[in-house]
């Protein structure tokens, strides 16, 4: 399985990723999951249909295995989604609790989602996908969708700028203001997470937050 980096030159015209940016949560509103209806709408927009995901055997192989990489994937998914073990308004901020009990960006240094990135870089994830007989669908994800583009921009404009805290600085040139928030709820990382989670299982993608809180 080979990752081909193909970044189109975009001049003015929005891509599907631009429509993936979570809206700002309304003050005092209840923060909920993305939900199935919106999940399928996004899948249709990004993939062309809603049937691109692993089968049960492939999914269990990737998520339920005993190796450290399996554990890291499960924990990263838990940190980024609204579930019984997370706090919705923290997830909507892109925050997760670290081993010291502090709330930090879900992709901050030493957090599970960053550990997952290391498994991608050292080819361990590729080996896992191959061992789970899921190479074909991940080749399709990496080479025929916006996944690599979204992930690349997420790394370049978010994670590389502040790799320790993994916070995104969003500048509004019209208002000459700057907002700082966790990379997980930036449009690039949110979109790449959605695509990866959907391939694993639509139900996982549907648990992403339906809006974001910008705390700074």
- Tokens read off for 27: 């003050």
The per-residue pLDDT for 17 is 82
Residue 125 domain boundaries:
53-205
Neighbours of 49 (CB within 10 A): 8
Whether residue 18 lies inside any domain: the answer is no
pLDDT value of residue 1? 55
Pairing of strands 167-172, 103-105: unpaired
The answer to whether residue 210 sits within a structural domain is no
Q: CA 10 to CA 183: how far, in whole Å?
A: 22
Average confidence (pLDDT) per 10 residues, the chain, 216 residues:
44 72 89 96 94 97 97 98 96 96 94 94 96 97 93 83 86 74 92 97 98 82
Q: Is residue 149 part of a domain?
A: yes
Residue 140 lies in a domain: yes
Number of domains in the chain: 1
Largest interatomic CA distance in the chain: 51
The torsion angle over the Cα atoms of residues 62, 197, 92 and 75, rounded to 10 degrees, is 0
Per-residue pLDDT at 21? 86
Tokens of 165: 């805290």
Identify the three-state secondary structure at position 148. helix
Q: Could you tell me if residue 114 is inside a domain?
A: yes
Domain membership flag for residue 153 = yes
Burial class (CB in 10 A: 0-12, 13-18, 19+), 137: middle
Q: Is residue 92 part of a domain?
A: yes
In a domain, 64, yes or no: yes
């Amino acid at each position: 399985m080979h990752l081909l980096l193909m970044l189109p030159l975009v001049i003015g015209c929005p891509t599907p990723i631009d429509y993936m940016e979570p809206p700002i949560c309304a003050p005092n509103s209840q923060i909920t999951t993305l939900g199935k209806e919106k999940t399928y709408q996004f899948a249709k927009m990004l993939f062309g249909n809603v049937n691109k995901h692993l089968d049960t055997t492939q999914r269990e192989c990737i998520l339920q295995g005993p190796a450290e990489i399996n554990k890291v994937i499960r924990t990263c998914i838990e940190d980024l989604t609204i579930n019984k073990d997370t706090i919705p308004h923290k997830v909507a901020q892109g925050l997760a609790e670290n081993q010291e009990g502090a709330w930090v960006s879900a992709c901050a240094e030493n957090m599970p989602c960053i550990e997952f990135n290391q498994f991608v870089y050292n080819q361990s994830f590729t080996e896992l996908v191959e061992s789970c007989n899921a190479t074909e669908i991940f080749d399709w994800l990496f080479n025929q969708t916006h996944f690599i583009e979204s992930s690349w921009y997420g790394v370049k404009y978010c994670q590389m700028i502040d790799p320790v805290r993994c916070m995104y600085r969003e500048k509004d040139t019209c208002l000459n203001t700057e907002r700082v928030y966790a990379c997980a709820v930036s449009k690039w990382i949110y979109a790449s997470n959605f695509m990866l989670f959907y391939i694993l299982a639509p139900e996982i993608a549907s648990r992403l937050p339906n809006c974001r809180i910008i705390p700074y």
